[in-house]
Amino acid sequence: MGEGAEKLEGLRQRAQDAVRSLRSRKATLDDDSIDLILRDARSHYAWTDRPVSDELLRTLFEITIAGPTSMNTCPARFLFVRSEEQKDRLAKSLKPKNVEKMRSAPVTAIIAWDPLFWQKLDFLFPHEDRKPMFEGKEAHCHDTAFRNSTLQGAYFMIAARAMGLDVGAMSGFSNQIVDEEFFGENGWKSNFLCNIGYADETALFQKLPRFDFDDVCEIV
């Protein structure tokens, strides 16, 4: 076995051992944890004035980026809007009913994607050159980036809830205006917005219905 192959085998063995160790320490989440991140979690649109620190945002990203994406492409990009000046810019894109929701949140994340994500595959997928799969293939790049950045946005919201934060995703805005205001230089494309903070629960209304398994699922 060559030195490169031996190194790769060592990395694979450590990865396998890490998964086995994790499963031996915690095989599943308890019911309260599942309730916190999904089952009883709510989308929030009113906020307390408790701040969200830069350190929390960094930790939130570190958890989010660990989530799986196709070929480890990691196309999502995150812009955290906090200052009043930048919120003024973001407000230009919002439908009127969403402006106060955004302004009252400590932070609003623009979940975006990079059309040139594939240029980073040397770093993200180093054991095989996958860039030719994307170079010059605009439709394939778009589908891959949009799909996987949406997945990463979902990881982001679940991670935030797991950290004790509250979230409120928003799609009532103009992607074109956001992109012109914030991404004119780097070429990123906005996917959706997500307010982050500590919610004012007094603004909640009743939880809306969800489908039962038999309504929307089949086992074949």
pLDDT digits (tens, 9 = 90+) for 118-158: 999 999 999 899 999 999 999 999 999 999 999 999 999 99
| Structure-token pair, residue 78 | 């995150």
pLDDT digits (tens, 9 = 90+) for 173-220: 999 999 999 999 999 999 999 999 999 999 999 999 999 999 999 999
The CATH number of 41-201 is which of 2.40.50.140, 1.10.357.10, 3.40.109.10, 3.40.50.300?
3.40.109.10
Where residue 138 falls (left for φ over 0; alpha for ψ -120 to 50; beta otherwise) is alpha
Q: Parallel, antiparallel, or unpaired: how do β-strands 189-197 and 107-113 relate?
A: antiparallel
